[in-house]
Structure 1
Amino acid sequence: MMALVTGGSSGIGLEFSRQLAEKGYDLIIVSNSREQLDAVCAPIAEEYGVRVIPRLQNLATGNAAEELMEWCDSQSVLPDILINNAGMFYFKELSPELMGKAEVMIGLHVTTPTKMCILFGDRMKQRGSGRILLVASMAARIPAPGIQVYSATKAYLRSFGESLSFELKPYGVTVTTLCPAAVATPLYGLKKGLLNFGVAIRVIHTPQWLVRKALKGLFRGRRLMKPSIMNAYLPPMIKMLPSNLEQKIWDRIKVKL
């Protein structure tokens, strides 16, 4: 059994790598950081007694999915589980200076996951089995200033994943879309003290908690997962805000960015 985890050398992706290894899965860990790959692959292999194959690759390029598929073919490996986790985050007012970051985010959250699902999903269809997980976000339901590209791309992932699950199910392939709320990782750039406080009052969850929930849903073939009570109340509360109040809040926040 083998799992491929994109962005698997840090944050939520690293926790997916660890927990899948604990379940006995060999791993392909894809990351754009050689330093992180060197730091995590050998320890995971040693601790859990599984095969761990590092793949250094930038997944934000237009042909990244095709290159990864070709590499897997050259290694004669086809994962039983595909975790589309690689991503990025920034909180800024959109401007020409952010064009490059926006393009990278669209590549990581839209272009590459779509192509990965097409390419690897087709191989899974031919085999008659497989599991795909897409990491979206609670932000998929929160179109808001500052995270305009992030929330839009995560909304795409949620819609795409739910639609694809219907198409692949008859072939023995499940697609699970995960929409986590806030998670205690470096992705958001929050100070450690603030992260710890958020975890203590349970508005921020640990990667360990999230991945346990996600894998349970993945193996049960769940179509959509929205762990955390914040998923139930925060998006509706934000939608209830009058637009003029939301504008005033944003005007105050952006001067501090």
Structure 2
Amino acid sequence: MVALITGGSSGMGLEYARQLAERGYDLILVSNRAEELSSAREELLAAHAVSVTTRFQDLGTADAADLLYAWCTDELKVLPDVVVNNAGFFFFKELETADLDRVQAMLNLHVTTITRTCLLFGEAMKRRGSGRLLVMSSMAARIPAPGITIYSATKAYLQSFGRSLSFELKPYGVSVTTVCPAAVATPLYRLSEKLMRVGVRTGLIRTPRSLVRRALRGMFRGRRLVAPGLMNVLLPPAIVLLPGPVEAALWKRLK
């Protein structure tokens, strides 16, 4: 059994690697952070009797998925049993033309790369008759808000794409699970350690281990959507119901 994890060198990606290794999966980790990849590989090899292959690659380019698929199938001669589409990034600010390159990178990474990865690996899994695809969306998919304009839009796309694709692939023995976590204690959001600890203690922020445990349990049960936590139930409707002037005032203070 083999699992491919994008963004697998740190944060939730590394936690997916740990928990899949605990289940006996050999690992393929992909990241654009060479030092973290090396450290993750050493950690996983020391803790688990599995093989760990790493690939240093920028997944934020238009052809990233095609290059990754070709590398797996042509060079490694491997079609993973599980593909975890975890790689992503986040920024919070008012959009300007100076942000166009960063916006394009996010569109490439969150939309183009994940779409093509799912289609390329999914088609091969269809021919084999088995496989599991996991797509990391976010609670932000349900919160169109200033400051996270591109992030929330791309995550909304992933939620819709993952759910729709799951219906198309299920008859061929391939499951697609979309995960929509609320806040998670990772470096992605760049919160201070103090705020992170307070969030975890109060339950507003989940630990990577608990989130990944829920996500994998849902994936192996063939669930289409995993959206754990009370915040997922309460926060999106509350924000959507905010009057426009209130949202504008909050944005003015935050930016």
Same fold by TM-score greater than 0.5: yes
TM-score by length of 2: 0.99
- CA–CA separation in structure 2 for the residues paired with 1:110 and 1:59: 11
Q: Separation in 2 of the partners of 1:108 and 1:192?
A: 27
3-state SS of 2:70 partner: helix
CA RMSD of aligned residues (A): 0.5
Please name the residue that 1:44 is paired with.
44
Q: Per-residue CA shift, 1:69-103, capped at 9, x if unaligned?
A: 11112111110000000000000000011111111
Partner of 1:213: 214
Displacement of 1:252: 1.3
SS at match of 1:83: strand
* 1:214-229 paired onto structure 2 within 5 Å: 214-229=215-230
The aligned residue for residue 151 of structure 1 is 152
Structure 1 outlier segments of 4+, above 2 Å: none
Instruction: Tell me what 1:63 maps to.
Output: 63
Aligned equivalent of 2:89? 88
Letter in 1 for 2:101: G
Corresponding position of 1:199: 200
Aligned to 2:101: 100
**Corresponding position of 1:123:** 124
Cα displacement (A) at 1:42: 2.1
Aligned residues: 254
**Counterpart position of 1:31:** 31
CA distance in 1, matches of 2:66, 2:254: 40
Cα distance in 1 between the residues matched to 2:119 and 2:10? 25
Render the CA deviation track for 1:141-167: whole Å, top value 9, x for unaligned: 000000000000000000000000000
Shift of 1:46: 2.4
Which deviations, in whole Å up to 9, do the C-alpha atoms of 1:104-161 show, x marking residues without a partner? Answer: 1111100000000110000000000000000000000000000000000000000000
CA shift for structure 1 position 253 = 1.1
